[in-house]
């Protein structure tokens, strides 16, 4: 019987993505030239395309919902997108805006993984707490890295990026009893 892949896949996705985030601590500075000067246009375009892809995907998910849920869920998703927009605006440097994408994707992966072990509000809380702890661990590790610094603003951005994506997934979840 073809079903959903086992939990090993979800663990692998979360672990691999978290590994990628931690690799950026060491190799992220090598990407700096792509986020400055003329080349920054490419990075900005990629981040913009990622954001546009998220908007298109969310809109498609809303259209798949029953008619009676579309307005409420759509308004909630607009709030999540507005929050992500404010977070992007709040970050002064383009390279710092990559945190939104990195931790947003981590939020999606942890949502899938948490769904293996919990449902309802506990699923949301476990996934959100895991992402917030990952963001804090990333920044604490940067405190000890000679070329990086601990930035409380990044901890906040990491956690809130994941929580906003998790809130969007929470809104899109199937209604109980339907």
* pLDDT (0 to 100) of residue 176: 64
In a domain, 12, yes or no: no
Mean pLDDT over the full length of the chain: 92
The domain containing residue 47 runs over which residues? 33-172
Structurally, the chain folds into a number of domains equal to 1
In a domain, 16, yes or no: no
- Helix (H), strand (E), coil (C) string for the chain: CCCCCCHHHHHHHHHHHHHHHHHHHHHHHHHHHHHCHHHHHHHHHHHHHHHHHHHHHHHHHHHCCCHHHHHHHHHHHHHHHHHHHHHHHHCCCHHHHHHHHHHHHHHHHHHHHHCCCCCCHHHHHHHHHHHHHHHHHHHHHHHHCCCCCCCHHHHHHHHHHHHHHHHHHHHHCCCCCC
| pLDDT tens sequence across 22-69 | 998 888 788 888 889 899 999 999 999 999 999 999 999 999 999 999
This prediction's pTM: 0.90
In a domain, 108, yes or no: yes
Could you give the percent of the chain with pLDDT greater than 70?
Answer: 97
In a domain, 26, yes or no: no
| pLDDT tens sequence across 143-164 | 998 888 898 999 999 999 999 9
């Amino acid at each position: 019987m073809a079903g959903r892949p086992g939990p090993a896949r979800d663990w692998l996705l979360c672990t691999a993505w978290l590994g990628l985030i931690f690799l950026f601590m060491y190799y992220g500075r090598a990407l700096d030239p792509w986020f400055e000067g003329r080349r920054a246009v490419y990075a900005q375009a990629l981040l913009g395309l990622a954001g546009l892809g998220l908007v298109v995907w969310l809109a498609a998910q809303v259209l798949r919902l029953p008619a009676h849920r579309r307005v409420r869920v759509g308004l909630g998703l607009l709030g999540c997108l507005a929050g992500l927009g404010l977070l992007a605006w709040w970050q002064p440097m383009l390279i710092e805006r990559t945190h939104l994408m990195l931790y947003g994707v981590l939020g999606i992966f942890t949502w899938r993984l948490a769904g293996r072990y919990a449902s309802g509000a506990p699923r949301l809380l476990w996934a959100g707490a895991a992402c917030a702890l990952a963001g804090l661990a990333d920044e604490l590790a940067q405190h000890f890295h000679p070329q990086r610094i601990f930035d409380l603003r990044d901890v906040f951005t990491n956690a809130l990026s994941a929580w906003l994506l998790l809130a969007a997934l929470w809104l899109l979840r199937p209604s109980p009893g339907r």
